[in-house]
Amino acid sequence: MIHESNEKSKVEIHEISTTFNEIYRKPYFPLELEEEIKKANALIIPYETFRDMDKVVFPEGTRDFFDYLKQNSSEYGVVTDICISDGDFRQLELHADVINLPEIIVTSGIFPIVTGLIVNYVTEKVKSRRTQLNVKVGIIVESNGGSKKISYEGDAEQFGPTLRSISEEIFKQ
């Protein structure tokens, strides 16, 4: 389902089968970090298929985004982690005029908090660059054993209002 679409931004919301438990069974899941990663209720996950790459990758800036979430979320009960070992972590550089955020899976109870943190992160990036920027992000929200994926691609200035609107309505559908 497309929630909003125009020249400036596109939002899609879909039911999907991805859950935390499914992520824990992925080949890239670092078993040596299993105990720590399973504490997370906000988990950054890699692109499993990107163009012709044979390994999982994260968009450029993932470490910065991860550090931002960890530093700013714990006081709200958000436990953030990244689903990869340090040795397998790979970033790829994408378009400079697009803030490509990594995909993240969250529990429904912290969705409004995480969206607020993501909006703040994007706002800081926009202020520091002082140019017209676009944002691309996928957020998977798990609730009662099912999941919905919210994909946003578009104008960074519309990102905050759009995500706040979705946050208020996501589970009323």
From first to last of the 173 residues of the chain, give the pLDDT tens digit. Answer: 333 444 577 899 999 999 999 999 999 999 999 999 999 999 999 988 766 667 899 999 999 999 999 999 989 999 999 999 999 998 887 667 788 999 999 999 999 899 999 999 999 988 887 777 889 999 999 998 899 999 999 988 888 888 888 877 765 54
Q: Which two tokens stand for residue 159?
A: 């990102």
- Write down the domain spans for the chain: 2-172
Alpha-carbon gap, residue 166 to 92, rounded angstroms? 29
Selection from 99, 12, 97, 92 nearest residue 52 by Cα? 92
At 165 the pLDDT is: 82
At 77 the pLDDT is: 93
Alpha-carbon gap, residue 131 to 144, rounded angstroms? 41
pTM: 0.88
